Amino acid sequence: MRRTKRKGTNASESMAKRTRSMHERANLENIRALLKDFEGNAPEDGAVWMALECVLDSAPFGSTITQHGAQECMPKESLPIVKREYEESFMRGCCLPDDTPCVMGEFCECNVIDNFCGAAFVLPQICAVSPRMCILCIRKTTQLLFYRIVSSGMQTTQMIQMYGNIAGVAGEYHESAMLTVPPGGPVHCMPLPVVAHQRNRYYAETGADGVRRIRQRNVYFEDFR
């Protein structure tokens, strides 16, 4: 009897896993189709990122952010805080043996800035599975989700940020460059400030090693002193 019961349970769990896998593949195919369709009719180069709004409209909100590695809401003390220096070390193309390209591929935000795919961001404290997004794509997605929640009042128990940034301190970011949930807003979804995504605050240059890098401007604490 015990053996039969265990087999039945395993069979049920296996069926549930197969069903979830089928749904995930179907959802990803729908997202890919939306992006491709928008790309074919985009009014300008790089406008395909606007298709993420279509994704958020067409896919279940919880599923969308869960697929990007979001976790259940947690106290802000539990979220990792990333220093500007470490964050900027990943604003580049792939050049190291362990580097992997941004999961957005041809739709990577670095392609809009300077026609290359950024290196995926790696942070030991974040237990997200590969593939990962680059810094710019993380910022873009977080910002889209931020406005989605704040403007529509949508309810969710998912975090919309992977980490927080530091502001108002020498060597870090200025407060005006940050995205912060307003008082009375869904602070539980984004308890720490993060850098807002603005394309006019990025530019690209080639380093002495030949690697293309994204640089930031008008976001540093020192820029406003």
194: phi then psi, degrees, rounded to nearest 5: -135, 160
Q: Which of 193, 191, 168 is nearest to 180 (CA)?
A: 193
pLDDT greater at residue 173 or residue 9: 173
Provide the angle, in degrees to the nearest 10, between the axes of the packed helices 135-152 and 51-58. Answer: 50
Residues 20-32: tens digit of each pLDDT: 444 444 454 555 5
Q: Dihedral, CA atoms, 26, 107, 59, 57, nearest 10 degrees?
A: -150
Helix (H, G, I), strand (E, B) or coil at 139: helix
Residue 35 one-letter amino acid: L
Per-residue pLDDT, 62? 45
pLDDT greater at residue 175 or residue 56: 175
Residues 191-215: tens digit of each pLDDT: 999 999 999 999 999 999 999 999 9
Per-residue pLDDT, 20? 46
d(CA 205, CA 174): 23
Element (H, E) at 195: strand 194-195
- CA 69 to centroid of chain Cα atoms: 8
Per-residue pLDDT, 149? 84
Cβ contact 52:141 at 8 Å: yes
Residues 143-197: tens digit of each pLDDT: 988 888 887 777 777 788 889 999 999 999 999 999 998 888 888 889 999 999 9
Q: If you ran DSSP here, which 8-state letter would residue 47 be given?
A: G
Per-residue pLDDT, 182? 86
Residues 89-127: tens digit of each pLDDT: 999 999 999 999 999 898 899 999 999 999 999 987 665
> Domain ranges in the chain?
2-224
* Among the ranges given (55-69, 81-95, 147-161), the one the predictor scored with the smallest mean pLDDT: 55-69
204: phi then psi, degrees, rounded to nearest 5: -115, 150
